[in-house]
Amino acid sequence: MKTFKFITISSILIVGLLSSVAAQNNNPDSTSNDSIKSPIYRGFIVEVDVAPLIESALINRYAYSFQGNLMVNLNNRFFPIVEIGYAGANKANILGAQFNTSGLFEKVGIDLRLMKPKPKATIKNNFLLGGLRLGMSHFNYSIKNILMEDDYWGGSEIINAENISTTKLWFEFVAGIRASVYNDIYMGWNVRNKRLISRTKPGENAPWYIPGYGLGNTSAWGFSYVIGYKF
């Protein structure tokens, strides 16, 4: 049901945006009447995000993430995008408490070109982009081997909470660049500020890591470095 809602909202957003682009192009008062009309659809770019691979190899060895994107170029101004990936984490802290999870995540959104490229720019098709994403992940996680002790009265207990199933929704503000580095090969990066919509209530077993979102129960920062090919 949640997946259905997510897809419906995303589709409405994308369709709304496409219609606004189409409406703009069909405007009879447009000054481009005299010139040759360029197509709205300018192809699509298939991308791979390599930042999580570098991050899990060098910095956060407890987590992994694989992500692919499909970005459509509309009039070199609007870039609807779908990001799909698989991520997980296996973390044990110094006290022996363990957390593990893995699951698929999906993000749907749009980037807008923020600046018009300079006509004399050496790199063609370079875009400064800003946009939004709506992300969702349905995943299972386990919190194991957590020791609870009573220092005054005595006694101890090991608590295990296994296979907890949950769905998390979040949105992301994105800003970054895309540029054609060689013919149809594109590269780019973006910085993301992620805000969790469906938060865990205080006292409940909160997931330490959310696939596609990362760490934190309120907001998180993220970084993507993408390599893609334009079709």
Partner 1 sequence: MKNTSLISLLFIVIFGLAFSFNSCNTDDTCRKSRIVLLGMNFYLDTINHLNNRLVVQKLSIDSLWVKGVGTDSVLYSNRKSINTVKLPLNSFAEESKFHFQFNTFTDTVTIRHKNINEFLSLECGYIRTFEIDTVISTKNFIDSISVTNNLVNTFYVENIQIHHNK
Write out the residues near partner 1 by the rule CB under 8 A.
51, 55, 59-60, 62, 91, 93-95, 97, 99, 143, 146-148, 150-155, 157, 159, 161, 189, 191, 202-206, 208, 214-216, 221-223, 225
How many residues does this entry show for the chain? Answer: 231
Element (H, E) at 23: helix 2-26
In angstroms, how far is CA 227 from the centroid of its own chain? 15
Nearer of residues 25 and 142 to partner 1, judged by Cβ: 142
How open is the CA angle 214-94-194, to the nearest 5 degrees? 10
DSSP three-state, residue 57: helix
**What is the smallest separation between the CB atom of 29 and partner 1, expressed in angstroms?**
39
DSSP three-state, residue 73: strand
How far is it, in rounded angstroms, from Cα 1 to Cα 176? 33
Nearer of residues 25 and 145 to partner 1, judged by Cβ: 145
Which residues, at least 6 apart from 204, have a Cβ–Cβ distance to it below 8 Å? none
How far is it, in rounded angstroms, from Cα 212 to Cα 135? 8
Nearer of residues 221 and 229 to partner 1, judged by Cβ: 221
**What is the smallest separation between the CB atom of 123 and partner 1, expressed in angstroms?**
11
Nearer of residues 44 and 141 to partner 1, judged by Cβ: 141
**What is the smallest separation between the CB atom of 78 and partner 1, expressed in angstroms?**
24
**What is the smallest separation between the CB atom of 36 and partner 1, expressed in angstroms?**
34
Element (H, E) at 58: helix 51-58
Nearer of residues 40 and 220 to partner 1, judged by Cβ: 220
Are 179 and 129 in contact, with CB atoms under 8 Å apart? no
Nearer of residues 75 and 205 to partner 1, judged by Cβ: 205
**What is the smallest separation between the CB atom of 160 and partner 1, expressed in angstroms?**
11
**What is the smallest separation between the CB atom of 50 and partner 1, expressed in angstroms?**
12
